[in-house]
Structure 1
């Protein structure tokens, strides 16, 4: 059963830059059931928090104990309840507009890696130049989405190697970045090319190169449907020439 929750609107606060930052050092912190009209990243800097939330799909509640090096990312309109589990605490709340997430939300509770934790500490630092906050927030979201942060809850299944690969390709295409080559991606994921090859054959029945080519071709057709020329699409996707893209499109069927 969904508990009664009040709306705490934050989306308007994100309008100037796509995000809004709040932090609290209130002792014995307790915020009863509420929801926001945007996504929220919550993480303790010191002390601990206990957060409960409602899974909108199953209408069940979940809860997690958060401490230093852990966080939770909740989608918009998720009813949640947070209270301090230690007498003293300090935590950050990062409210994120949809255009900042761009579908990259790896929602749930997870353990932060060293890089993400350092960026979050920098984000709430009084010494941070305000002009640096926007690219820093984008880097934090990207770091979480790429999957370098490990799920904290035992019932949150970790993505397979093949899923991590596809997610990485998708993120690059979504953000108009160079799609990594298979050997570079294998290194990034901490596996050999042979391991990545086996994982893709078992999961998708295709090689990593074939999957990369299919995703590039699909994205190219989407861009051309939106009105971009072959040359413009080729440039955006990082091809050496439009001829290379043309050959790919002829080789890869719809």
Structure 2
């Protein structure tokens, strides 16, 4: 069962998930990065370019999900170094520090809140979020073309690409595709027909939507939504 709530960490959510025994989970690309707690270990989930499939992992997970572009400053590592990866936090931070944090979370009456406390403390010591990165996400999520976004922000194409690699893990075109996918899924899950969803989310047509969903999510659109037709 998956649950989430707003976090005390700015622009983040706290979530927990206990998958069914033997069941497979599917984490879709969303532009975010997560600090994870699982079986007494701290891990980091980097930004995904394809669906991440979990199979047979029935024990509980908890995480702090950072909004796009905000995790690298908190975690101290460029996003592109973690693209499509799950790594132990001890590979990124001093191992002794991570052992102490694991002991602290494991001994807490509420490990999920303790995990959030770790993220909150780290965020307090990090540089504040770059407003330019928020502007990139806002523009691309509104369907603005990449070239127009770069011009409006006073950046060259190469500058924008470098900034996006470090902050989001991939270039602005990939980020735009992922944000468009999430817009489409939100519309479709809200009951909007697939043809209307495609137009409103910024796809050329329903076939374009179906191709992107299959490529990014790894499943046909109808199967992903759990329903047929449009």
- TM class by shorter-chain length? 0.3 to 0.5
* Structure with greater Cα Rg: 1
Larger helix percent? 2
Give me the TM-score of the superposition, normalised by structure 1. 0.34
Give me the TM-score of the superposition, normalised by structure 2. 0.37
- Greater relative contact order (Cα < 8 A, sep 6+): 2
